[in-house]
Structure 1
Amino acid sequence: MKRAFMAVAIATVFTGASFMPVAARTAAETDADTFTVSGLEKPGSISIDKWGVPHIYAQTLYDAFYLQGFNAARDRLFQIDLWRKRGLGEMAKDFGPDYVEGDRMARAVLFRGDMYREWLAYGSDSKRVAQAFTDGINEYVKMTQANPDLLPVEFKKLGYQPSQWNPEDVVRIRHHGLTLNAKNELDRAQVFCKVKDDPVKADWLRRELSPTIDPALVDGLDPCAIPVQKIKDAYDQATATPKLTKLPPASDNAKPTATPPAQQSASASPVAPTGSPVAALYNVVDNDSDTERGLGSNNWVIDGKRTTTGRPILANDPHRSHGAPSLRYISHLSAPGLSVIGAGEPFLPGISIGHNDEIGFGLTRFYMDQEDMYQYEINPENKNEYKYKGRWEPMETVEEEIEVKGGPVQKVTLHFTRHGPILYQDDTAHRAWALRAAWLDLGMAPYFGSMDYMRATNWDEFKAAMNRWGAPGENQVYADRSGNIAWMPGGLTVKRSWDGLTPVPGDGRYEWDGYRDMDELPSLHNPQAGYIVTANENNIPPDHPAFKKGVGYEWSSDFRAKRLKAIIGAKDKSSVADSEAWQNDKTSLPAIRTVAVLKQISTDDEKLKPVVAMLQKWDGLETADSAEAAIFEVWFSRYLRRAVVERAFDPEIAKMIGLGDPERVLDVIEKPEGWFTPAERDEIMLDSLKQAVAEVSDKLGADPQAWKWGTLHQAVFLHPMNALLSDEEKKTFNVNAGPIGGSAYTPMATSYGEKSYNLTSGASFRMVLDVGQWDGSRVINTPGQSGDSRQPGYRDLAPLWAKGEYIPLTFSKEKVKENTVKVLKFEPGKN
């Protein structure tokens, strides 16, 4: 049966601006659907297995990427279209005037360099790959135009159509690269402004630095002249992921160009035109929050001499903010010169985490410092000039037009210095602040470098490909069929003459001296220990020359790394199942350390005694049904850390420091000398524990034995439209996988935010590779492979994920065929 596309029926009732799902989409459930598509060179097919993983078989290399793009649109059209709109600054076009300023700032961080050189930075065929991938997306978009019933219901609720892609969109968009550390620089400057006596001590408690360093303000910087929140808001407008908070205007009734309102000028506060705060429009993650400290990943590789199979095992579980659908998408590409399976992001071609016929690879973040904030003196006679090396230098200005649904086209101006885009300008004070970011340079499109390494066949080829990796900074672990294991970080490291921990004047005294060669960073190949673990900690060996070269100071807490190294190193022979268990390990080192101090303390408070006794016997295992985990997490994250900070500093400073860095707070309560007497420490701990008990009792009842961490800590995956949905609609678009254990600091990372204990980030994707015996590999995505809430595949993997279970990552044609439930066949049409 040949057709342009499968028949689809949607039984959905729309009433005004809202809708009510009545029946799920029903796709043609034939054994094979055949599509005639333009842009394909030769016939191809996609075998979809029972878990929703597409196995793409093409007869030419670029047909594989074409089909990958087509299928990404077929499964994740709303997600990838929203990502494109956010990245290119086109949100206001379809969602209204609230998004104009966000669009302006998004355009400020687009790549604007030479596209010819940009494509060459990734490899000789990177442009052709991107062209094939976006051609596939566009073919599916054309099909939705011919048959609107193919559109996911989000488009109908929001009243707009998906856009066509250009191949340049893939690399011009840079906002998704896990950027750091510009906002941390601003927060540190605020500490130096507010704390007159000992700002270094206050900053020490606020944020751990590794290697240990006393941050220092550079000459010429007045930290009190920096409007920290306004610049951070502008940064968030430029880089944060979208969430939709109000329905778009009913119609697009205006096209005339308007005079730029104050909100669109470079000197405006980065607040949406309606006055909505930035955080209301975007999923903003504060760089110093527990959420950010919990973001990261785990990966490890184990030599065959230490495994039950005699083959290497490679494991990876990247941690990112959770949502519905998942950030990760599993797919398999097979074509002449290409055979690779694993996960990537649905809006990018290729695979960044997975394996090909010969090698396996997995990544975690390597926290190199690739950003700086520059402050300028502005010419009082010409606000478009800034002082550089004693002379007034003109800014580069770019005029843009932003289409606005329900309003006139807005003309906006972007300003750039030699260092980067202006984020905020104060015309009254004659100052401006710009972002310099390595990720805005040539060859720095986040994750697109995987185009090269996913096709490597040995360590030398893989290392050569990683030497061309730009951003973000990554730890790559590697294993191959010959039994080799290895690790190397990738990313361009800035050469600075200062520590990079605070903003600097942009007057020419503080310039980057290029980037360090990749071979200046450490690496490991077949280490004597027989295994390698990374978990976003500072894993540069202290005796390596790079340790003190200022690669970066703001790493993730090493709790996960310490725990994983201990349990992996303790087992002489481990299996794939062991690695699965370690990815789901819920032991909290902060809990163990806190309990060790609590064991030295007694209380006369009759209400507190049973809780103290319960915690003193606890082993730190944070399961979903653990009463101890419930009280500890509330205590540690809401009360204990804050109490330490508030006792150490006056209220204004304590408010600025916030909860305090978890590692530093633990250091203080373990060795209070210089901060408190032991008796004061004991008082802080018991008083804050009493507050935590009151909260948990209020939420879970008076009986501590009945408390369960999972009652508070739910694995909820929110859709970007969550704020627009009725309670009934939320059941369709959001996914609740139920109670879950762990925390930000357990190997099974399950971070939560400030307003509730519901899951906010962690491992949406987990993978364990049986290297060489590829069909023995295991994987899980969550909440599902599909981005269409009408499909079972939208949420079917979430229950497995929540229980720590996996599905097979089938690779051989025989195993794929055994598990195939649907085959899509493709025939070339007229171009």
Structure 2
Amino acid sequence: MKVFSFVLVFLITVVLGYVVSIPMGPAPPVAPLLDPNHGFWQNMYSEDQLAEETIQLEGLSAPVKVAYDENLIPHIFAQNEEDLYRVQGYVTAQHRLWQMEFQTMAAAGRISEIVGPVALELDRMTRRKGLAYGAELGYEFVKENHPEMLVLLEAYADGVNQYIASLDDARLPVEYKILNYHPENWSSYKSLLLLKYMSDMLVGDRDLQYSNLRKILGEEKLDLLFPEFPEENDPVIEAERVWDFEPIQVNSPEEGTYPDDKLVIDPLPQPEEGVGSNNWAVAGSKTKNGNPILANDPHLSLNLPSLWYSMQLSTPEHRVKGATLPGALGVISGFNENIAWGVTNATKDARDWYKITFQDDSRKTYRYGNEWREASHRIEEIKVKGQEPYYDTVVYTHYGPVVYDRTFGSERQDMNFALKWTAHMGSNEQLTFIKMNKAKNHDDYNDALNHFTAPAQNFVFASVSGDIAMRIQGKFPVKWDKQGKFFMDGADPQMEWQAFIPNEHNPSTLNPERGFVSSANQHPVDPSYPYYVFDNSYEHYRNRRLNNRLREMNSITVDQMKELQFDDYYLHAAEALPVMLELLGNETGGDEKAEKYLSELKSWDFYADPNQKGPTLFYTWWNKTYNQIWNDWMEWDEPVVYPNNYETVRLLKNNPSSEFFDHVNTELKETASNHVRKGFAEMVESMKEWEQEEGDYTWANYKRTSIQHLVPQFRPFSVENVYTGGGRGILNATSERHGASWRMVVELGTPIKAFGIYPGGQSGNPGSKFYSNFISKWANGDYLNFDLRSEDQEEDLLFQTTFTN
């Protein structure tokens, strides 16, 4: 049965990829694919069936033992770090080689090499954003400033490459066979490029949209709908924090200079609204056993192979375990024998845009103050499968690359917009995690973070000595009020970043009186923080639910922390639905279905559990109402940012007759009630149609969470319709395609107790039983025991491999 299922899935995948769906270049030769000795048949085996007792690995100074537990989690025991990371590279490549290479090729703008011209514009955008450029600068920075780190990076790359050299066609991951290409060698540069890829995934900016809104609405209305701080600000760093430093001062221009035009270009892709990450730590004074407990659940796109790969890395000096990023060294979110740490996205604006004025069409020089500065031209050769290479010229200024110009995104000669981004500055984030893996205390934690530039992250910390901490770390420019919120004139030196916030001035807290630290992508601070802080995508619901629960809880246990990570309380609905019901009144028109839906909404307890109908009805009603309210804006030619859910609810509640509810192109003077009622009517019709076509509208069936293969066309390698609750703005932030990509809970006692899970499996091979075996546990809120393993431990041992020189 297993053979039949894998063959069927494989054949369906090939058909979908090359016949039904988006073209992906020439189809692979059929004969090699069907070859029983080398084709896809060889990918039906699980890793335990292919286990080797010994593997020769050149470059080792001593034997390295790798013990795989029953879930295929490797525990590496090496005598030194160079051997440790050489084997980490080999083992990771054994299970995730295709994923590692695919993600770094995406980061380098090289997907067209694999799938053909369908990816050309995506590759052009990636090249123009300068991810490869940033990784090149990072490599030079590491080479010059941290040569000892380069030794470890090269050891990891060597391990990957020795695995690649050992591969024959039979053992080649199935994606290479379907897409008809072979892996190339790994490099230290690629590991650094992977971290730039993560930075790009997590950063957003709305300079373009805010610039347009400023011209359309004016400053006063813009500030009314988009306040710098929400009314109910519950920031990452507690509001009681006293800032005991003298901030760096910068010169603020008397009047900001902004481009005059409304900008009609497509903005860069942005992180999805309403999903992010949670992390927190509670002090021993609030826990049942008197030990700190730390929790982390980063929310990202739900993909197969999974973003994370679990591992334990051990030398005689340290043992560390947690989630690794395939292609990067060390553990990214995890714990060792002394500390635990976790990360969430800090959502702080770290990308600014500048309009560049070139001297002439050659674009060799551009205006800066009273002079003309020289630009550089970078020729990007984009190889395209089945076609001749495409050559794109990207102009670089001292701000950064000119992303938008007459050849990309705009037909206007004078539209030249350069991107300034901290990811383009030489840095060594990899060193942060190497140091964190070995950290023993709060001082070590701070020392590790001093090397971290981008993407800005909220690093939570707890130790066996009882400390808990939070630090918001990144390289942040010191900005004058509203700098970077709008497009700036690159010819005006006043628009420059003048200085950077010192690491010791970044928002942080240690052992706060309230007994916990937490972050959920909300505002980092309250208005007392002496530096300008802005981002458009701050969370307004998860953070308040999380902090309210942590304030209430005492004698906390690990199980309660697990339950909190899986909490389905829909705070947005709890605040919005009563307002909407009041504005609706009894306007159901006597419709039987409308009465039924209304009754279900009124009896709902605001939990987005998978078997509930209330979340489906509210979610649909809210979206219909929201689109009604801001419909005029959605019809503008210029891209703009829309008011968030939190401010929209406040407007409905506090000012239902606001001018913002009145649509200019209708004779009726609309109020909040008009939009709520129309939204309800549209919801009723939408749900009637759903019931007729789909039947069940319980939340899990309506939401239909799916965990997709990294190539969306390979749908049979995905897992769809996962039965689970949660949603956007909910602590269990599981939406259709996003959610908790990794859940970890660690109690810092003696011994340390740890638990973890992610939605996938250790293997990157769709034919393996370890490919998606964690998903059902993850969907139910269950965890794996993640305790540190000793070298001589025998229980739960799947198999063991010894690497020798």
Q: TM-score, normalised by structure 2?
A: 0.85
Find the partner of 1:438 among 412, 419, 422.
Answer: 422
Separation (CA, whole Å) in 1 of partners of 2:792 and 2:679:
55
User: Which residue of structure 1 lines up, in the alignment, with residue 708 of structure 2?
Assistant: 718
Per-residue CA shift, 1:546-575, capped at 9, x if unaligned? xxx223333422200110111122111111
User: Which residue of structure 1 lines up, in the alignment, with residue 497 of structure 2?
Assistant: 512
The offset of 1:769, in angstroms, is 0.2
Per-residue CA shift, 1:301-353, capped at 9, x if unaligned? 01112112221100000011111111111111001333111112112111111
User: Which residue of structure 2 lines up, in the alignment, with residue 672 of structure 1?
Assistant: 655
Find the partner of 1:70 among 90, 98, 102.
Answer: 90
Unaligned 5+ segments in structure 1 are: 1-9, 236-284, 752-758
The offset of 1:437, in angstroms, is 0.3
The offset of 1:525, in angstroms, is 1.4
User: Which residue of structure 2 lines up, in the alignment, with residue 822 of structure 1?
Assistant: 799
Q: Does 1:346 align with 2:326?
A: yes
Moved more, 813-822 or 566-575: 813-822
Change in 2 beyond 3 A, CA 1:357/1:153: same
Separation (CA, whole Å) in 2 of partners of 1:630 and 1:98:
35
Separation (CA, whole Å) in 1 of partners of 2:451 and 2:138:
18
Q: Does 1:795 align with 2:772?
A: yes
Moved more, 341-350 or 86-95: 86-95
Q: Does 1:561 align with 2:580?
A: no
Equivalent residue runs for 1:104-123 within 5 Å: 104-108=124-128, 109=130, 110=132, 111=134, 112-113=136-137, 115-119=139-143, 123=146
The offset of 1:200, in angstroms, is 5.0
Equivalent residue runs for 1:38-57 within 5 Å: 38-57=58-77
Find the partner of 2:209 among 171, 182, 187.
Answer: 187
Moved more, 367-376 or 22-31: 22-31
Separation (CA, whole Å) in 2 of partners of 1:503 and 1:707:
44
The offset of 1:767, in angstroms, is 0.1
Change in 2 beyond 3 A, CA 1:642/1:810: same
Equivalent residue runs for 1:157-172 within 5 Å: 157-172=178-193
User: Which residue of structure 2 lines up, in the alignment, with residue 492 of structure 1?
Assistant: 475
Letter matched to residue 538 of structure 1: H
SS, match of residue 364 in structure 2: strand
Equivalent residue runs for 1:562-581 within 5 Å: 562-581=544-563
Per-residue CA shift, 1:249-307, capped at 9, x if unaligned? xxxxxxxxxxxxxxxxxxxxxxxxxxxxxxxxxxxx435xxxx2223210110111211
Separation (CA, whole Å) in 2 of partners of 1:654 and 1:781:
41
Separation (CA, whole Å) in 1 of partners of 2:691 and 2:750:
48
The offset of 1:781, in angstroms, is 1.2
User: Which residue of structure 2 lines up, in the alignment, with residue 542 of structure 1?
Assistant: 527
User: Which residue of structure 2 lines up, in the alignment, with residue 460 of structure 1?
Assistant: 443
Separation (CA, whole Å) in 2 of partners of 1:794 and 1:178:
27
Moved more, 20-29 or 616-625: 20-29
User: Which residue of structure 1 lines up, in the alignment, with residue 575 of structure 2?
Assistant: 593
Letter matched to residue 394 of structure 2: L
Find the partner of 1:421 among 393, 396, 401.
Answer: 401
Q: Does 1:137 align with 2:123?
A: no
Letter matched to residue 628 of structure 1: G
User: Which residue of structure 1 lines up, in the alignment, with residue 687 of structure 2?
Assistant: 696
Letter matched to residue 133 of structure 1: Y
User: Which residue of structure 2 lines up, in the alignment, with residue 278 of structure 1?
Assistant: none
Change in 2 beyond 3 A, CA 1:225/1:708: closer
Letter matched to residue 420 of structure 2: R
Checking the alignment, whether the CA contact within 8 Å between 2:104 and 2:193 is kept in structure 1 is no
User: Which residue of structure 1 lines up, in the alignment, with residue 22 of structure 2?
Assistant: none
The offset of 1:807, in angstroms, is 0.6
Checking the alignment, whether the CA contact within 8 Å between 1:595 and 1:618 is kept in structure 2 is no
Separation (CA, whole Å) in 2 of partners of 1:703 and 1:66:
52
User: Which residue of structure 2 lines up, in the alignment, with residue 785 of structure 1?
Assistant: 762
Q: Does 1:762 align with 2:742?
A: no
Q: How many residues align?
A: 733
Separation (CA, whole Å) in 2 of partners of 1:536 and 1:815:
41
Checking the alignment, whether the CA contact within 8 Å between 2:428 and 2:451 is kept in structure 1 is no
Change in 2 beyond 3 A, CA 1:590/1:104: closer
Checking the alignment, whether the CA contact within 8 Å between 1:668 and 1:675 is kept in structure 2 is yes
Q: Does 1:639 align with 2:631?
A: no
User: Which residue of structure 1 lines up, in the alignment, with residue 54 of structure 2?
Assistant: 34
User: Which residue of structure 2 lines up, in the alignment, with residue 740 of structure 1?
Assistant: 724
Letter matched to residue 540 of structure 2: D
Separation (CA, whole Å) in 2 of partners of 1:372 and 1:659:
20
User: Which residue of structure 2 lines up, in the alignment, with residue 750 of structure 1?
Assistant: 734
Separation (CA, whole Å) in 2 of partners of 1:696 and 1:211:
33
Checking the alignment, whether the CA contact within 8 Å between 2:210 and 2:640 is kept in structure 1 is no
Checking the alignment, whether the CA contact within 8 Å between 1:314 and 1:479 is kept in structure 2 is yes
Separation (CA, whole Å) in 2 of partners of 1:655 and 1:579:
45
User: Which residue of structure 1 lines up, in the alignment, with residue 453 of structure 2?
Assistant: 470
Separation (CA, whole Å) in 2 of partners of 1:496 and 1:503:
14
Letter matched to residue 624 of structure 2: Y
Separation (CA, whole Å) in 2 of partners of 1:491 and 1:406:
42
Checking the alignment, whether the CA contact within 8 Å between 1:119 and 1:443 is kept in structure 2 is no
Checking the alignment, whether the CA contact within 8 Å between 2:458 and 2:471 is kept in structure 1 is yes
The offset of 1:221, in angstroms, is 2.5
Separation (CA, whole Å) in 2 of partners of 1:688 and 1:774:
55
User: Which residue of structure 2 lines up, in the alignment, with residue 314 of structure 1?
Assistant: 294
User: Which residue of structure 2 lines up, in the alignment, with residue 241 of structure 1?
Assistant: none
Q: Does 1:532 align with 2:517?
A: yes
Change in 2 beyond 3 A, CA 1:555/1:658: closer
Separation (CA, whole Å) in 2 of partners of 1:651 and 1:662:
15
Moved more, 513-522 or 577-586: 513-522
Separation (CA, whole Å) in 2 of partners of 1:57 and 1:484:
29
Letter matched to residue 370 of structure 2: G
The offset of 1:702, in angstroms, is 10
Per-residue CA shift, 1:481-521, capped at 9, x if unaligned? 11111111111111223521011011123111131101112
Per-residue CA shift, 1:75-101, capped at 9, x if unaligned? 111110111212233333343344445
The offset of 1:49, in angstroms, is 1.2
Separation (CA, whole Å) in 1 of partners of 2:609 and 2:798:
35
User: Which residue of structure 2 lines up, in the alignment, with residue 482 of structure 1?
Assistant: 465
User: Which residue of structure 1 lines up, in the alignment, with residue 697 of structure 2?
Assistant: 707
The offset of 1:102, in angstroms, is 4.0
The offset of 1:224, in angstroms, is 2.3
**Percent identity over paired residues:** 24
Separation (CA, whole Å) in 1 of partners of 2:420 and 2:432:
21
User: Which residue of structure 2 lines up, in the alignment, with residue 249 of structure 1?
Assistant: none
Letter matched to residue 573 of structure 2: A
Separation (CA, whole Å) in 1 of partners of 2:254 and 2:643:
21
Checking the alignment, whether the CA contact within 8 Å between 2:343 and 2:458 is kept in structure 1 is yes
Separation (CA, whole Å) in 2 of partners of 1:58 and 1:403:
40
Separation (CA, whole Å) in 2 of partners of 1:139 and 1:441:
32
Change in 2 beyond 3 A, CA 1:452/1:378: same
Q: Does 1:294 align with 2:317?
A: no
The offset of 1:524, in angstroms, is 1.6
Change in 2 beyond 3 A, CA 1:181/1:79: closer
* More strand as a share of residues: 1
Moved more, 427-436 or 411-420: 427-436
The offset of 1:385, in angstroms, is 2.0
Q: Does 1:224 align with 2:214?
A: no
The offset of 1:620, in angstroms, is 0.9
The offset of 1:415, in angstroms, is 1.4
Separation (CA, whole Å) in 2 of partners of 1:131 and 1:519:
32
